[in-house]
Structure 1
Amino acid sequence: MGKSILKDKSYAFSLLVISRYKILISDKKEFVISKQFLRSGTAIGALIREAEFAESKKDFVHKLSIALKEANETLYWMELMKDSDYLNNQSFENLYSRCRELVAMLVSTIKTAKPKNN
């Protein structure tokens, strides 16, 4: 996989998630949902890094598929935090659009890497 846009963007997203998590626990005193958001949001990049040294193409696709699931879960936690007033619209839009971009990139990469079945 080497140097990739997906790897770079997922790492940058993880840093944003950590930054937002720190604000949520210090300013909003929100500890439960924000921890779920932290775990799923940072797992995306970790799984992409794992896929970098996958044992096979099938393993590569599997790890990226789990990253995709984590990204989808992260979208859920962000929606929940926005709708419960833990995230303002600007923070939500910034994080949400970046996560949606990761979702699109993961879907594309998975489709490209999957073997074609007849």
Structure 2
Amino acid sequence: MVAALRMMKASLALWLGAIALVACAPQATTTTTPAPPVPTRPAESGDISPGEVTTVAEGLAAPWSIAFSGDVALISERDTARIVEVSDEGALHELGVVPGVEPRGEGGLLDRSRRPPRCG
């Protein structure tokens, strides 16, 4: 029993010593880089000409996105789900309608892109 008591005392002393060493160890210091100052006024953009607005096609219900297949412009309509081709003269040619599109909330036809050609 005396040996067991000595073993417990030695173990307790060892643990207390380890805890004291950890508690007295210096804290790790971290250096932080200060954030760059916020500009007080916006940067000047210079002279930009607004350009000209040109109507390319008319008669689109809710044109949403455009993709090009070669030189041909393909436009999707958000609410009707139509995909139309626009000629250089502005004529519209319906290529098809995407099935299952419901134009409620976020459910309309929002965007699309042309699949790139496969290699090999």
Based on CA coordinates, which of the two structures has the bigger radius of gyration?
A: 2
TM norm. shorter chain > 0.5: no
* TM-score normalized with structure 1 length: 0.21
Higher RCO (CA-CA < 8 Å; seq separation 6+): 1
* TM-score normalized with structure 2 length: 0.20
